[in-house]
Amino acid sequence: MVTVRSSHFSCAANFSRGRKCIFCGSFKVCRTAHRYVKCRRCDRQKSRAQLRRELEIIKGFYQQVPAYRLVTDLKLDQKPVARVYQHLRACLYHTAELEAGKLRGEIELDEAYFGGRRKGKRGRGAAGKSLVFGLLERKGRVYTKVVEHVSAG
C-alpha cells in the first residue's frame, strides 16, 4: 500500500498550477481566458504569473536569500519582493506573539543592542541601535521582540 505524504511544496504546487484557491483553499477553481485562476466558491481571482512570482519570492525567503539578491536573481522590481518579505515578517511576528504566552519552566531573560556603527559612543546611548529583548525557555523555544523605549522604572 502506497501512502502519499502532503508537504508545503506540494500545496504550493497546487496553487501555482491553478488547482486550489489561495484565498479560501477550495479546489473549485477554473481558469479564465486572461490566464487568471478564479474561485467558484469565494469568487476571487488571481493571475497565475503573479502567483508563481510570489511563490518564488516565498521560496527565497524560506532559503534566507536577502531581498536585494532575490531582486537581481529573479529580475524583478524591488517593491513586490519587499512587500512579500514584509508580509511574511509580520506573519512570523504574530505567530511569535501567540507562542510567547506558552513558555513554561525555567525562563532566561536578556537584552541586546543591534545595529549602529563602531565609531563614537557605544552601549545604551549609541545612535542607530535597536534594543532587542529576548526570552529563552530552557531546552525549548526562544522569543524575541524589538523594544522601542527603555526606562529603568
Q: Is the dihedral of CA 146, 114, 72, 61 positive or negative?
A: negative
Q: Cα(56)–Cα(72) distance, rounded to whole angstroms? A: 13
pTM of the model: 0.57
Q: Which residues of the chain have pLDDT under 50?
A: 1-9, 153
pLDDT per position as a tens digit, 21-64: 877 888 888 888 887 888 888 888 888 888 888 888 888 888 88
